[in-house]
Amino acid sequence: MTPAARMDGKVCLVTGATNGIGLEAAKALAAQGATVVLAGRDKGRLETALITVRHATPDAKVESLQADFASLQDVRALAEAFKARYSRLDVLLNNAGLVLHERQVTKDGFEATFGINHLAPFLLTHLLMDVLKASGPARVVNVSSEAHRYGKLDFNDLQSERSYAMMRVYGTSKLANILFTQALARRLQGTQLTTNTLHPGVVRTGFGQNTQGWMRFAVQAFAAFFLTAEQGARTSVYLASSPEVEGVSGQYFIKCRPKKPSSDARNEQFAERLWQVSEELTGVKA
């Protein structure tokens, strides 16, 4: 295995960092010497995560910021709080995500899976773009999934008001992650900021525990065959820190290797239309 790259002097922001892949990625980056900022929605779980990272690396430089990605106001507050504390950002790891058995809506009225998995990281990335570019070479890493192959972008029903099927809606949000990454990479050409996305593997974490029916049963029944959270975090950490991907942008990775995503995920027209819609929904203009 390639030795872990040192990240001394670098600042990393990890969303969804209170458990699972996000927490393991934060631990690994802290062990590599980075200053790591954990973002999560629950204050108590953030405090526990801080203790966990410091226990793994006693001299870890780690802090936390609270934000609920079901609120775009919270996302804006997170970006402002980060920039008030830090003058640089070398890695933004957009890891936070969820899957829901039934349709729910965010505080802004968006379908929750689409809002939390796509719109929130889309907005956060834009709000932190200035500090990312100023810190170059810097990286944006977006956690997607092979579930994107089950997704289908219906621009007439992005909020799944007409029809809701858990895996299709989740897959669509992960498809959106890849399309966002590729559209962002095109816009970042000629800069020192790169962006890539990844499938972490099928990981044994708390993910999916907020579902019901067959999905919850499947998660419980086959958990023993899933990857550990530490294994699932490896590609995220690789894309965040490895010299091997310096300058690489717009790619989709599985097991630290570039892979070809679905044909829909490579559709530039889809990506550009999604970008425009996402700007309108989040109120940003690049």
Query: Catalytic amino acids?
Result: 170
Both tokens assigned to 107: 């505080």
| DSSP single-letter state for residue 196 | E
Give just the sign of the alpha carbon dihedral 159, 160, 165, 171.
negative
C-alpha span between 202 and 204 (Å, rounded): 7
Both tokens assigned to 260: 């070809």
Name 132's Cβ contacts closer than 8 Å, sequence gap at least 6.
89, 92, 125, 138, 140, 193
Asked whether the beta carbons of 164 and 172 are under 8 A apart, the reply is no
Asked whether the beta carbons of 42 and 88 are under 8 A apart, the reply is no
- Select from 221, 176, 228, 234 the least CA-distant residue to 202: 228
Kindly compute the dihedral angle of the four CA atoms of residues 63, 39, 250, 10, in this order, to the nearest 10 degrees: -10
Based on the number of CB atoms within 10 Å of its own CB, is 226 exposed (0-12), middle (13-18) or buried (19 or more)?
middle
> Which helix (DSSP H) or strand (DSSP E) does residue 93 occupy?
strand 91-94
